[in-house]
């Protein structure tokens, strides 16, 4: 459809923009790294740990840049047999790191075998979980479900929250690259665009149910393996 073509063109434009910025940005980071290392050698105690923090921050900035780059230039996928149920369990420690104490985690996990790239599905899951947690600043319940339909032809992943929800205008635009309501410096607007891209790449479907004040539920269905 025309909308999807537009979406693809936007993603391509992001890729080109990212590539041009990434090169210069990496040069800046190399300078930050170099000087912080030199400084670190001169310092002791707490000050030395500050230098370590700078080095660590610049290393995660390097990671961010390469993740941004991979949006435009998808890295080769390694498609394997995956069980969404096991994957949710595997990323449990990561999810626990994102989920703050005031958020309850509710799991209903059944086998859900698919063929997909592990990193992609992890990314998809973590993007949805991050959004769900962001939507519950005052606490709530994060629900993760996996399973299969009776005919075992579709595998299902549900990520649901009891958070702020979305109005019609937000529901309409939430998959658009760079669309965010999170305000300056907080959201990139790339999370759901990435999720959407991954689901489409896997020949899946994504369904969104959300109402302001009533929470949000994403249901992803993928061809079962
Ligand atoms: P970002 O998280 O950087 O804003 P996303 O593409 O992940 O970018 O999300 C786009 C927008 O969709 C968010 O800014 C928010 O308005 C809305 N959104 C996404 N997930 C949720 C959710 N679980 N609950 C409420 N709103 C959401």
Query: 13-17, 160-164, 183-187, 196-200: lowest mean pLDDT where?
Result: 13-17
**For ligand 1, atom 3, which residue shows the shortest CA distance?**
187
Pull the structure tokens for residue 138. 């005052």
What is d(CA 218, CA 127) in angstroms, rounded to the nearest whole number?
Answer: 12
Cα 71 to ligand 1 centre (Å): 18
181 lines ligand 1 (CB under 6 A): yes
What is d(CA 94, CA 92) in angstroms, rounded to the nearest whole number?
Answer: 5
pTM: 0.73
Residue 9: pLDDT above 80? no
pLDDT confidence bin for 124, thresholds 50/70/90: very high
Question: What was the pLDDT predicted at 2?
Answer: 57
Cα 82 to ligand 1 centre (Å): 27
Residue 68: pLDDT above 90? no
In the predicted model, what is the mean pLDDT of residues 25-50? 91
Judge whether 182 and 175 are in contact, CB under 8 Å.
no
Q: What is the ipTM of this complex?
A: 0.98
Cα 69 to ligand 1 centre (Å): 21
Residue-wise burial string across 170-199, b where 16 or more C-beta atoms lie within 10 A, e elsewhere = beeebbbbeebeeeeeeeebbbbbbbbbbb
Cα 159 to ligand 1 centre (Å): 13
Which ligand 1 atom lies nearest to the CA of residue 191? 7
Strand blocks (E) in 40-150: 79-83, 103-109, 113-117, 140-148
Name the residue with tokens 């075992």: 152
Residue 60: pLDDT above 90? no
pLDDT confidence bin for 197, thresholds 50/70/90: confident
pLDDT confidence bin for 12, thresholds 50/70/90: low
- Percentage of the chain beyond pLDDT 90 is 54
Judge whether 224 and 113 are in contact, CB under 8 Å.
yes
Q: Does 20 or 104 have the greater pLDDT score?
A: 104
Q: Dmax of the chain from CA atoms?
A: 66
Residue-wise pLDDT tens digits, 138-175: 899 999 999 999 998 999 999 999 999 999 999 999 99
Question: What was the pLDDT predicted at 75?
Answer: 61
Question: What was the pLDDT predicted at 129?
Answer: 92
Question: What was the pLDDT predicted at 109?
Answer: 96
Q: How far is CA 102 from each of CA 81, 99, 164, rounded to the nearest angstrom?
A: 35, 8, 15
Residue 5: pLDDT above 70? no
4 lines ligand 1 (CB under 6 A): no
Query: What's the whole-number average pLDDT of the chain?
Result: 87
User: How many C-beta neighbours within 10 Å does residue 59 have?
Assistant: 12
Question: What was the pLDDT predicted at 46?
Answer: 94
Residue 70: pLDDT above 80? no
Range of 25-29, 117-121, 159-163 with top mean pLDDT: 159-163
Question: What was the pLDDT predicted at 205?
Answer: 95
Question: What was the pLDDT predicted at 91?
Answer: 80
């Amino acid at each position: 459809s025309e909308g999807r073509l537009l979406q693809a063109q936007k993603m391509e434009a992001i890729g080109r923009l990212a590539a041009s910025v990434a090169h210069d940005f990496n040069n800046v980071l190399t300078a930050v790294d170099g000087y912080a290392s030199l400084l670190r050698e001169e310092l002791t105690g707490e000050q030395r740990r500050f230098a370590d923090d700078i080095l660590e921050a610049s290393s995660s900035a390097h990671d961010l840049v390469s993740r941004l780059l991979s949006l435009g230039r998808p890295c080769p996928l390694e498609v394997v047999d995956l069980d969404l149920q096991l994957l949710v369990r595997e990323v449990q420690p990561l999810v626990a790191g994102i989920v703050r104490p005031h958020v309850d985690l509710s799991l209903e996990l059944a086998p859900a075998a698919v063929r997909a790239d592990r990193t992609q599905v992890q990314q998809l899951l973590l993007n949805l979980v991050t959004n769900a947690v962001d939507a519950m600043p005052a606490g709530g319940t994060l629900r993760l479900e996996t399973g299969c339909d009776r005919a075992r032809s579709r595998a299902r992943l549900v990520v649901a929250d009891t958070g702020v929800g979305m109005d019609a205008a937000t529901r309409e635009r939430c998959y658009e690259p760079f669309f965010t309501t999170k305000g300056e410096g907080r959201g990139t607007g790339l999370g759901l665009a990435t999720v959407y891209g991954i689901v489409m790449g896997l020949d899946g479907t994504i369904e969104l149910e959300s109402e302001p004040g009533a929470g949000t539920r994403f249901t992803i269905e993928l061809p079962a393996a």
